Amino acid sequence: MSPLDRPPASRVRGLLPARGRVPACFPGRALACVLAWALLLACAPARAAESAGAALALPATLWPGDATPVAGELFARAALRKVKYARVLAQKTLPVPPDATAAAAPGQGRPAPPASGASRASAPEASRAGEAPRLARLAGPGDGLALADYNEARLDYLFDSARPACLGFAAVLEGRDGRAVFVSDPLETVDRLDPEWVDSPAREGADVAQAPWASKGLRYQLSRWLDRAPDDTWRYSQDGPSTFLQRRFARDLTGVGAVDVVLSRGQQVQVNLVVSLDPEGKGRTVLDWYALPKRTFELGDGRSVLRLYVGRHLRAMAPGTKSVRLKELALMFFREDQERVVAARNVEKILFVPSGLPPELTRDGLPRDLPARAREVFAGRGELAANLSVLGEAPWKDMAPASLNVVWSPQAPESSFELELEGARLARVAPRRDVPALLAATVERCASFGADCDMDRPDGFVDQDPLWSVDFASLGEPGGRARPGVHPAFASELLKAGPRARFASEPDGLGVTCREGLSLETGAAFTPAPGDVVSLWLELGVRRQGLGAVRLEAWGAGEEVAVAVKPGLPAVLPRLPARVEGVRVRFEALGKGEMTVTLGRAVLQRSRADAPRRGLYEARYLFPETREARATRQGPRALAFAPSQLPPGARWLAADLSTEAWTVDDPAPVLVLRGAGRELRTPLPASGARMAMLLPQLPEGASLSLELEGGRPGAALECSRAVASGERLATWPQVLGAESLLQAGGAARSLRGLDARGAAAMAASARWMPLGALELPPGQGAVSFPRNPWLEVEALLLDRLDAPALDSLARAPGEGGAAAPRGSGRLVAGLTVLGVLGLCWLGLRGGRGARLAGALAGWLDAVPEAGARRAPGWLWPSVMACSLAAGLFLGAAEARHAAMAGSLAAVPAWRGLRARMGRKWPKVAKRASLHYCCGFAAAVCLAALLRLVGLAPLSEFAGLCGMWLVLAAWATRSRPDLLTIPGSDA
């Protein structure tokens, strides 16, 4: 059993000798008993606190005599919940150059690109294998380019994952001392590797598994020391539990972007690279393995590739270097025996991947690194974002921007590739800061329809004007892994997916798998006014396999307009027909394979630049509404949903329905939905099915009913779970008033009736908000706090109706005590401090302070004589024990004061041990300062030991004792005379 697992009393006994008398230098047995008793008292309440529940328990004193319930008004001090948020302050669209396209080599098919808007580059031309890296300018000084005004650049592009291309940014600055070049790593956009690329004979590299291996000996060491020409032999050696395999190189790395290590059978390996940054190849620099960017690619045939982004690391570490040579490469097999490594040979080869940078960017040496990240929006469509904040730092901010360029190339010179740019833009993103969660959500909602909202202005917001919306999130299975099948009903006019489409509840929405393509028919028809801007906001889930493109199409008056849609960004129609007769969202598969996509939310909305400005709590936005609907039985085959079970604007009812299985002789079961004067019918596909029913437009206060017709005679219709969802236009006070703050008295409490003025006051500072009347039954109750995304509760107040009014408990103005004016209290405190300082000055003037310090130092230096009158040896240890025990009966502050005062007794207690220690260790006890320093060291060691065994209060007390002892040593350090210890030979 470990010391921490023992009972507290056993821990104290473990610190005492097992046999014999307690040494005289140790406090007596009484002290040990007092410490054990104090420890038991200290640990008991701590153990009780550990078992406390998470709910807030109400005090039992609310119910005097446990007889009558407590009734009163409940108040909560509520505040807005804060989140970290960074918003886009400004954005500028850059024109895509006409020649910024590349395509596959002739003879290789290419999937047809989707129709796009004005930002699409011109039609691609066929590019040949062996094409060199290319550079195209996005903007220059003539375009009003000011890179210091932006801190982010983004590129939208189309690509073929089977033939990936390298894509990056390049910024060129010019100043009096020359030019500075910043580039992002073009290899960042390559996120897949295949065996054909790795095994191509055109790859430049070095064999490992097929190369000769030999034991590392003195010859290799001498060759490295003399810098002789390397050979192709790999040397292995054993160093502790790990095996090293290394080889010397003389390889130029100036044009290399990455070093690939091809591994078989899931081998784990660490790579150490030694390079020379000298033009003559002298010197050795070891690249830090932990700082080196790296990534692992699975090839799908059991092998993997460990890619080390050496070019990116060198550009960040040594910009301007004109020559980089690889001197040595070592592979470390952690905790693997040499014999096993030699027999397995799981490292196949080393490949050197070109950087993809054109020569004009490296003529002055290695350019500087520009951090960037690439992500695949869905299959065949990606986004590259570069961080430009370094360009706004000294000394680069004083240099003029010469150009912002895009760089693209094949992954290898002989490889074919496909790339097409859709759009480019610059953005300025504000630093992350704490803002209310609802404010961050409002800015995101405004950005979803392209509105220019200013979160720092009181009237910086506009209303949302949706033309059509649908939310599939409620049809998902949050946190679920089963992904049950879903059967949409009455949604044939909304979802066009073909007869073989399959639907499932994904964790983040409705999953659709189909081959014939998918479209959402909005049914929107309207006549746009001059100045109207129509856009689509689309949210998709994680699963997007085989999805090649998404388009927004609008038609009318013999004209059709289409634009490419990117999830998470508003897709704006470039122009509108005079009369819009229909709008659809089309999802296209990549090639002719199967497509799987998870639908989240889609909103078609209209906005205007001259829309009226509103405050944060007056503007209206579209909010989802979801409720667990409880059905009431209207008969064995009928279920009803009351209006209170349906949210305002309910559009979906997802229900898990079941009935008894039927036979071929029974009539086919039909599910009948009745509501708002309409009757809809759909076949029940199975005896147990999850039905997602698109509801008709329901007026306020309408109810719904479900009835089963046909099926097994006498079989009942059961509903185990139902969720009703929809969307509504609402203001933030309406949303905050509907969210539950806490559960008390068996009911949910919320800020119902909250208006814009009350919400603004609550946002300015935490306020006591009324939550209605509360009646608690006799006994102890508890209050629970459900997760509220917008508000948090800081305190609760129960205003009892039978108690005195709250204002009667306050002191009348002008009375003394705690309610006295603050100015009077400060005056009294100031006079008291001045009086104490005056008394100290009178007591220490005239040399009294120096004489007092000398007397204290003399007392500390003196050694008590054997026959002199002195305090008994048990006195000071007893004072220390009593002060420690007294702290258990006092508050936290009083306990600290008692420990501080009691630990001061450690100085006379250790002084009394000096004569006794001098007989055993005369050299230690000769000098007073050394004697007290030894006491300090003993106290520190004791404190560490007590902390180790879990006795934190005793450890802190020992630390205080050590503090007083080191002060005593400091007070005696100026007396160099050696004192003779009675009974010693000195």
**What is the pLDDT confidence band of residue 3, given thresholds at 50, 70 and 90?**
very low
Q: What is the dihedral of CA 925, 928, 929, 932, to 10 degrees?
A: 70
Confidence at residue 153, expressed as pLDDT on a 0 to 100 scale: 92
**What is the pLDDT confidence band of residue 17, given thresholds at 50, 70 and 90?**
very low
Confidence at residue 839, expressed as pLDDT on a 0 to 100 scale: 66
From residue 513, how far is each of 497, 518, 598 by CA, in Å? 9, 9, 9
Burial class (CB in 10 A: 0-12, 13-18, 19+), 308: buried
Among residues 98, 175, 178, 102, the alpha carbon closest in space to that of 134 is found at 102
Q: Regarding predicted confidence, which is higher, 232 or 545?
A: 232
Confidence at residue 237, expressed as pLDDT on a 0 to 100 scale: 92
From residue 392, how far is each of 141, 146, 388, 407 by CA, in Å? 16, 10, 8, 22
Provide the residue type at 301 as one letter: D
Q: How many CB atoms are closer than 10 A to CB 108?
A: 14
Confidence at residue 882, expressed as pLDDT on a 0 to 100 scale: 79
- C-alpha to C-alpha distance for 313 and 257, rounded to whole angstroms: 9
Average pLDDT estimate for 613-619: 93
DSSP label at 277?
-
How is residue 173 written in tokens?
């600055």
Confidence at residue 571, expressed as pLDDT on a 0 to 100 scale: 92
Beta bridge partners of 758: none
Provide the residue type at 644 as one letter: S
Confidence at residue 194, expressed as pLDDT on a 0 to 100 scale: 87
Low-confidence winner among 138-142, 429-433, 480-484 (lowest mean pLDDT): 480-484
* % of the chain surpassing 90 pLDDT: 36
Q: Which residues of 470-496 are buried (b: 16+ CB within 10 A; e: fewer)?
A: bbbbbbbbeeeeeeeebbbbbbeeebb
Low-confidence winner among 411-425, 507-521, 739-753, 801-815 (lowest mean pLDDT): 801-815
pLDDT digits (tens, 9 = 90+) for 808-854: 444 444 444 333 344 444 555 666 667 667 666 666 566 666 677 77
In the block, which residue shows the tokens 């939550």?
771
Measured in whole angstroms, how far is the alpha carbon of residue 952 from the centre of its chain?
Answer: 34
Confidence at residue 780, expressed as pLDDT on a 0 to 100 scale: 53
Q: Is 231 helix (H, G, I), strand (E, B) or coil?
A: coil
**What is the pLDDT confidence band of residue 574, given thresholds at 50, 70 and 90?**
very high
From residue 640, how far is each of 116, 490, 634, 646, 714 by CA, in Å? 47, 18, 6, 11, 19
- C-alpha to C-alpha distance for 135 and 409, rounded to whole angstroms: 9
Measured in whole angstroms, how far is the alpha carbon of residue 718 from the centre of its chain?
Answer: 42
pLDDT digits (tens, 9 = 90+) for 115-132: 333 333 333 333 434 567
In the block, which residue shows the tokens 């209303």?
463
In the block, which residue shows the tokens 């952690």?
334
Q: What is the dihedral of CA 556, 558, 563, 568, to 10 degrees?
A: 10
Q: Regarding predicted confidence, which is higher, 539 or 862?
A: 539
Confidence at residue 767, expressed as pLDDT on a 0 to 100 scale: 80
How is residue 758 written in tokens?
């009350």
Provide the residue type at 455 as one letter: M
Q: Regarding predicted confidence, which is higher, 838 or 795?
A: 795
Confidence at residue 513, expressed as pLDDT on a 0 to 100 scale: 94
* % of the chain surpassing 70 pLDDT: 79
Q: For residue 18, what are the contacts with CB-CB under 8 A and spacing of at least 6?
A: none
Q: How many CB atoms are closer than 10 A to CB 179?
A: 12
Provide the residue type at 680 as one letter: L
Low-confidence winner among 106-120, 255-269, 643-657 (lowest mean pLDDT): 106-120
pLDDT digits (tens, 9 = 90+) for 681-729: 999 999 999 999 999 888 888 899 999 999 999 899 999 999 999 999 9
Among residues 215, 104, 202, the alpha carbon closest in space to that of 160 is found at 104
Among residues 374, 394, 396, the alpha carbon closest in space to that of 383 is found at 374
Confidence at residue 605, expressed as pLDDT on a 0 to 100 scale: 94
Confidence at residue 656, expressed as pLDDT on a 0 to 100 scale: 93
Q: For residue 113, what are the contacts with CB-CB under 8 A and spacing of at least 6?
A: 158, 420, 549
Q: Regarding predicted confidence, which is higher, 27 or 661?
A: 661
| Torsional class of 509: left (φ above 0), alpha (ψ -120 to 50), beta (otherwise) | left
- C-alpha to C-alpha distance for 485 and 688, rounded to whole angstroms: 11
Q: For residue 88, what are the contacts with CB-CB under 8 A and spacing of at least 6?
A: 427, 428, 429, 430, 447
- C-alpha to C-alpha distance for 485 and 129, rounded to whole angstroms: 47
Average pLDDT estimate for 785-794: 87
75, 799 contact by CB (below 8 A): yes
**What is the pLDDT confidence band of residue 975, given thresholds at 50, 70 and 90?**
very low
Q: What is this structure's pTM?
A: 0.61
Task: Look at strands 688-694 and 487-489 and give their pairing.
Answer: parallel
**What is the pLDDT confidence band of residue 528, given thresholds at 50, 70 and 90?**
very high
Count of all residues that appear for the chain in the document: 986
Q: Is 308 helix (H, G, I), strand (E, B) or coil?
A: strand
- C-alpha to C-alpha distance for 766 and 757, rounded to whole angstroms: 14
254, 366 contact by CB (below 8 A): yes
Average pLDDT estimate for 646-674: 92
- C-alpha to C-alpha distance for 370 and 183, rounded to whole angstroms: 5
Confidence at residue 95, expressed as pLDDT on a 0 to 100 scale: 85
How many helices and strands in the chain, by DSSP H and E?
18, 52
Confidence at residue 943, expressed as pLDDT on a 0 to 100 scale: 85
Element (H, E) at 38: helix 29-50
Element (H, E) at 487: strand 487-489
Long-range contacts of 277-282 (CB under 8 A, 24+ apart): 277/318, 277/321, 277/323, 277/324, 278/323, 279/322, 279/323, 281/227, 281/250, 281/323, 281/325, 281/327
Position 481 pLDDT exceeds 70: no
**Angle made by CA atoms 507, 510, 514, in degrees to the nearest 5:** 125
Among residues 732, 846, 853, 862, the alpha carbon closest in space to that of 789 is found at 732
Average pLDDT estimate for 312-326: 93
From residue 609, how far is each of 117, 575, 576 by CA, in Å? 21, 15, 16
Average pLDDT estimate for 853-880: 69
Position 186 pLDDT exceeds 90: yes
Measured in whole angstroms, how far is the alpha carbon of residue 841 from the centre of its chain?
Answer: 58
pLDDT digits (tens, 9 = 90+) for 383-399: 899 999 888 888 888 88
Task: Look at strands 368-369 and 178-183 and give their pairing.
Answer: parallel
- C-alpha to C-alpha distance for 111 and 887, rounded to whole angstroms: 80
Q: For residue 517, what are the contacts with CB-CB under 8 A and spacing of at least 6?
A: 497, 498, 586, 587, 588, 589, 595
- Mean pLDDT computed over every residue of the chain: 80
From residue 459, how far is each of 420, 615, 758 by CA, in Å? 41, 4, 17
Task: Look at strands 368-369 and 101-102 and give their pairing.
Answer: unpaired
Please name the residue ranges forming H helices in 449-509.
none
Provide the residue type at 452 as one letter: D
- C-alpha to C-alpha distance for 726 and 739, rounded to whole angstroms: 16
From residue 723, how far is each of 262, 653, 690, 705 by CA, in Å? 51, 6, 11, 14
- C-alpha to C-alpha distance for 246 and 688, rounded to whole angstroms: 64
**What is the pLDDT confidence band of residue 114, given thresholds at 50, 70 and 90?**
very low
Q: Which residues of 68-98 are buried (b: 16+ CB within 10 A; e: fewer)?
A: eebebebbbbbbbeebebebeeeebebebbe
- C-alpha to C-alpha distance for 598 and 476, rounded to whole angstroms: 9
Q: For residue 955, what are the contacts with CB-CB under 8 A and spacing of at least 6?
A: 943, 944, 946, 947
pLDDT digits (tens, 9 = 90+) for 123-167: 333 343 456 788 888 888 777 778 878 889 998 887 777 777 899
Confidence at residue 968, expressed as pLDDT on a 0 to 100 scale: 82
- C-alpha to C-alpha distance for 421 and 408, rounded to whole angstroms: 10
164, 189 contact by CB (below 8 A): yes
pLDDT digits (tens, 9 = 90+) for 917-938: 777 777 777 778 787 888 888 8
How is residue 249 written in tokens?
């190189």
Report all structural domains of the chain as residue ranges with CATH numbers, in order of start: 70-86+433-463+755-775+782-802 (no CATH), 88-102+131-186+364-429 (2.60.120), 195-355 (2.60.120), 478-607 (2.60.120), 873-975 (no CATH)
Confidence at residue 895, expressed as pLDDT on a 0 to 100 scale: 67
Position 894 pLDDT exceeds 70: no
Rg (alpha carbons) of the chain, rounded to whole number: 40
Confidence at residue 700, expressed as pLDDT on a 0 to 100 scale: 82
Average pLDDT estimate for 637-644: 92
432, 98 contact by CB (below 8 A): no
Cis ω for the linkage preceding 319 (within 30 of 0): no
Strands (E), 758-887: 767-776, 782-783, 791-800
